Chains A and B, each alone.
Chain A
Amino acid sequence: MMETFSLLPLEPVQWAWGVVLFWLALGFAALLLQRVPQLLSRLVFPLGALGALFIAGVGVAGLLLPASTIVLPIGLPDLPFHLRLDALSAFFMVLLGGAAFGITVYASGYFKSMAGGPLALLALWYHLFLGGMVTVLLANDAYAFMVAWEVMALSSYFLVTTDHKVPEIRRAGFLYLLIAHVGAISLLLTFGVLQGGQGDYTFDTMRLAEMTPFWASVAYLLALFGFGAKAGMVPLHVWLPEAHPAAPSPVSALMSGVMLKTAIYGLLRVTFDLLNIQIGWWGTLALALGLITALYGVIFAAVQSDMKRLLAWSSIENIGILLAAFGLTLIFYTDGKGALAALTLTALLYHALNHAFFKGLLFVGTGSVLHATGVRHMGHLGGLMRFMPWTAWLTLIGALAIAGLPPLNGFVSEWLLLQAFLQTPGLTQPYLNMVIPVAAATLALAAALAAYVMVKFFGVVFLGQPRDPALHEAHEAGWPERLGMLWLAAGCVLLGLFPAQVIGWLAPVVSLLTDQTLVNDGNWLMLAPISAERASYAPLIFFAVVAAVLLLTFVWVRRVYHGRVRRSDPWDCGYPEQDARMQDSAEGFGQPIRQIFEVFMKVERETPDPFSRSPHYHGASLDKAWFIFYVPIARVTNWLSEQAGRLQHGRIQWYLIYSFATLIFLLVFTTR
């Protein structure tokens, strides 16, 4: 297409499109290679991973270089694909490439035991999915955007239903497809409003369109709904806890880590770039929805006992945090507080990047556990740290990062966001001034609960004693898996240790959207948003202190404490024997949360009879949103279709009467 023999003078957008084509070719080559599955996992996926790394490089180049565009001669006759790579797209491309590289390297090991045919199809959908996501980021007209968006949705649907022989998985896939398409319709309408009657669907035209506040609000609300459906905003989140456990782990990692971010990208693109006005209440709405989503997600994460479902709910929580940050950015921006908007947006982008890394890491970690044990339910796991040290330690890094502990990356973004919340007294609207501290408290609660969730996740799966004798057979993940996890874990650590540098790289994006950049009042070692007197964070020093304390404690315990002679009681402190069934279970750990937040859930409990010989306990905390929003919609639809079904008598005379009545009606009313 655009490739010439001298590749160097090409612009970043052309490189990016080249990678998309490469992935497409790779996907279709995979179909031809289905007779040799070894080649598929050893060649196709590593090559795909290289493509992802390349995309990350292109993204870095895009952050440094000015925006570049191309028009591709594909698509409809009058509507070619317009592609554009600006700083915002470039940032999300770094996110995509960085996370997808680790995940795809992992996938090359994870899928190696699959049979040729299904594996070839999976490789096809996988690379189409990657290509679709990159094209979503590149699209510069509504048509290309929708095509790429649908490619992304459909290929991920096929990835979710990889094990399509299981009915629950088909059901999960259908739910995902349904909500994805409801969202896509809403996006289509958004673009319809955005083009403002000019009939030209390029983003360039939309940027210039002058919208009235009413129509701009309509476009914003439609976009919030459409992108919210993809991101998993409450109450459109129901597909996430179903689809993520159904999909193979690298796919869940990619969907949760990267795909959800394309929705955030779209929201930023439409609100700050395509719309020419922004209104304050939009931000308040997004903030409220985001906080609800965050809290709702983390509460449900706490009561899950399926590890992938737990991570899916945790993704909902993180999307909530991102939405809240988005809302706060809008509030600051419309209030004329450019510097604070820049701070919040930096926190948002940083958190999106972090989430891609640690959630990707955690999902592939569960994939290794699943491969080793074949179990997703945490009640049958435990003590895996002894058998799978690599997986356990690397997952621990991810768990600590998502829990927001310094010096890892999760802390940096959440800290930045809380800093932004603490700056709200500067706002000119008194009501917001009063309400936002509550919002900050909610966010802090969600962050604390996230840590609780991670203690549960890591503790139940990896610590303690194995709850099942079969777990002694658990085997460590292979080298490609370890490498993939290592990459993602390294991302978590480095993003946590060098925030000042990362924020420097984010500056072009932030200035593109808010016309201002975050001023780092510190130096390369220290992060100090707005002003150093107020708050600052020096992760390297912090890390050094943590490491020193750890080392000292270790030495003290090993050399001094254990060095002494110890006596132990004959009664063994009341623990004469302790077995795996005496450990705290996943349900038990979540019990307090379930008690406190019972209003949010519909709890199903089946307790055993005290005299039962084989006691059986069953407990499930169901999502109330399902019963409040979805069941009534399904009922109304069903009722309407039943009413329409009454027209169907099966007697030909009745059908003739329908035609006859229609004929008479039309004759009477059209000849008036």
Chain B
Amino acid sequence: MSLTYHLQIVNLLAALLLLISFAMLSQRRIAGLITLFAWQGAALTASTALVAWSTGQHHLYYTAALTLVLKVIAMPWYFFRIVKKLDVDRDVEPMINIPTTMLIGIVLVIFAFNLALPISELSGTVTRSTLGIALATVLLAFLMMITRSKAIPQVIGFLAMENGLFFAATSATYGMPLVVELGVALDVMVGVFVLSIFFFQIRETFDSLDLKHMEKLKER
């Protein structure tokens, strides 16, 4: 009986995840983007913990804790610090205007749901209905990476994509083995560090974090 309630809540959290993805797509300011990213992490943590509790998959608790520490606390804090240091918290003009982006996003969500339907029927988990949402989150994050021209939103898009994948893993197969999760977490952390070094280098070379300056690196 309680499983149904839990499922309802997991579905609610999944919907929240999707909503946050759209919010990120429409957010112009970097600071707002980081906050949204932290909230996405929080929703992910909550849903993972709930799945762990309702299905008795104890390793998912560790995963949830890892998500909480990394994606809700450490990384947003780190990004805020970078933003403050580089002083880049201004309005970001996306490459495509926001209503169009949102429309493309809706098309992607429909596509993702269509795509996930046959896959989720193969899956034996209680949370399989959220697979479509997970896939949509991935695609939306990808879309965000494409439409932003500054470096930091792109990295956040990349991390949001990772969130989506993570959610897909949880909903389709109750998460990956813990070793894999740990590995992915480490990769993400290292990736963020490396990319933040790049931020400073790009900034130093081009006096800006706008990636369109990197077109100059193209071989003529």
Residues of A within 8 A of B (CB): 645, 648-653, 656-657, 659-660, 663-664, 667-668, 671
Contacts and interface: CB of A to CB of B under 8 A. Distances in A.
Interface stretch (B21-29, B46-54, B176-184, B208-216): B208-216
Interface in B174-215: 211-212, 214-215
Main DSSP-derived SS at the B contact region: helix
B218 A649 contact: yes
B149 A653 contact: yes
B146 A656 contact: yes
Contact of A651 (B143, B215, B219): B215
B142 interface: yes
B1 interface: no
B146 A653 contact: yes
B118 A653 contact: no
A657 B214 contact: no
Interface of B: 95, 111, 115, 118-119, 139, 142-143, 145-147, 149, 154, 211-212, 214-219
Contacts of B215: 649-651
Given A651-B211, A652-B154, A657 B146 contact: yes
B95 A667 contact: no
Contacts of B146: 653, 656-657, 660
Nearest to B108: A664
Contacts of B154: 652
8 contacts: A650-B214, A650-B218, A651-B212, A653-B147, A653-B149, A656-B146, A667-B115, A671-B119
A648 B143 CA distance: 20
B115 A653 contact: no
| 10 closest residue pairs by CB, A with B | A650-B218, A650-B215, A656-B146, A652-B211, A656-B145, A660-B142, A653-B146, A657-B146, A651-B215, A667-B115
Contacts of A667: 115
A648 B219 contact: yes
A37 to B, nearest CB: 44
B172 to A, nearest CB: 14
B158 to A, nearest CB: 10
A290 to B, nearest CB: 45
Nearest to A660: B142
A650 B216 contact: yes
Nearest to B146: A656
Nearest to B157: A656
Nearest to A656: B146
A651 B210 CA distance: 11
Nearest to A650: B218
Given A651-B211, A651-B212, A671-B115, A663 B142 contact: yes
Contacts of A664: 111, 139
A656 B215 CA distance: 14
Contacts of B211: 651-653
Contacts of A645: 219
A559 B214 CA distance: 91
Contacts of B118: 671
A657 B147 CA distance: 10
Nearest to A654: B146
Contacts of B149: 653
B142 A652 contact: no
A468 B95 CA distance: 73
Contacts of B219: 645, 648
Contacts of B212: 651
B144 to A, nearest CB: 10
Contacts of A648: 218-219
A660 B161 CA distance: 12
Contacts of B217: 650
Nearest to B217: A650
B220 to A, nearest CB: 10
Contacts of B119: 671
Contacts of A652: 154, 211, 214
A671 B116 CA distance: 9
